[in-house]
Amino acid sequence: MDLENTAKALKELGHPTRLNIYRSVVRAGYQGIAVGGLQEKLEIPGSTLSHHISGLLSAGLITQRRESRTLFCVAEYDKLQSVIDFLQEECCADEKT
Amino acid sequence: MDLENTAKALKELGHPTRLNIYRSVVRAGYQGIAVGGLQEKLEIPGSTLSHHISGLLSAGLITQRRESRTLFCVAEYDKLQSVIDFLQEECCADEKT
DNA sequence: ATTATATTTCGATATTACTAGAAATAACTT
DNA sequence: AAGTTATTTCTAGTAATATCGAAATATAAT
């Protein structure tokens, strides 16, 4: 992944509330967690929560799946992995040469 | 590491310019890279660069070592690792139980 | 002491982000 | 079609961040 996209993902993770949301989504595994579930669990006003979720979505860190009226948030583990890969790939590159 | 500190580190990495700076520091390995070296390499005004470096310092992602007039920036690899550990540790925890 | 070099702090401006109530939309139920 | 539930968009106020020139500081050289 490129620098701009990685920075975007890191930025979205770099806010306590959003990191907490993301963490809850990650914990929920492949089935995900409902927006309402997050709201209840984290006690965040709906509008604020929705705003933060859209940040995580725009970075590709999570996706959503609808089941009738309920929207589930699901972690995109691959995205997290590519962020981590970006952070680690150039480690000590100048010394290696 | 706790959520607040991790979010702080991610926030500092979550800006294209700072991520680029950090990357250059990481690439430089254990000897580090001078502030002036970064300035030349990345073509950032001194005051802007200094501002971003202090962000990375405050998150504990880098440290500095002085050699006469020159300040070298050195990556704190352990800090990066603990950020990564935080991101990965709770993966699918709710499903595992 | 003066000058040169390396880096930071100050100050000012512009942009972006955070928060949350109120209104709107989407999907289902009766 | 009227009501209920789940979530988002709108709006607006406040706070935080980014940028960079100019001035200040720190260290060394002459």
For every one of its 97 residues, what pLDDT tens digit does chain B have, with 9 covering 90 and above?
Answer: 999 999 999 999 999 999 999 999 999 999 999 999 999 999 999 999 999 999 999 999 999 999 999 999 999 999 999 999 999 987 766 665 5
Helices (DSSP H) in B1-97: which residue ranges? Answer: 3-13, 16-27, 35-42, 46-58, 77-89, 93-96
Q: What percent of chain B has pLDDT over 90?
A: 91
Is beta strand A70-75 parallel, antiparallel or unpaired with respect to A62-67?
Answer: antiparallel
Q: At what angle do helices A77-89 and B77-89 cross, to 10 degrees?
A: 170
How far away is chain A from the Cα of B82, in angstroms, using its nearest Cα?
12
Considering the entire predicted model, what is its pTM?
Answer: 0.93
Distances (CA, A) of A48 to A38, A62, A76, B24, B91: 12, 17, 22, 36, 25
Q: For A19 and C21, how far is CA from C1' in angstroms?
A: 24
Q: For A73 and D18, how far is CA from C1' in angstroms?
A: 32
| Helix H or strand E encompassing B90 | none
B4/A15 Cα distance (integer angstroms): 8
Q: pLDDT tens for residues B42-55?
A: 999 999 999 999 99
* Structure confidence at residue B95 (pLDDT): 62
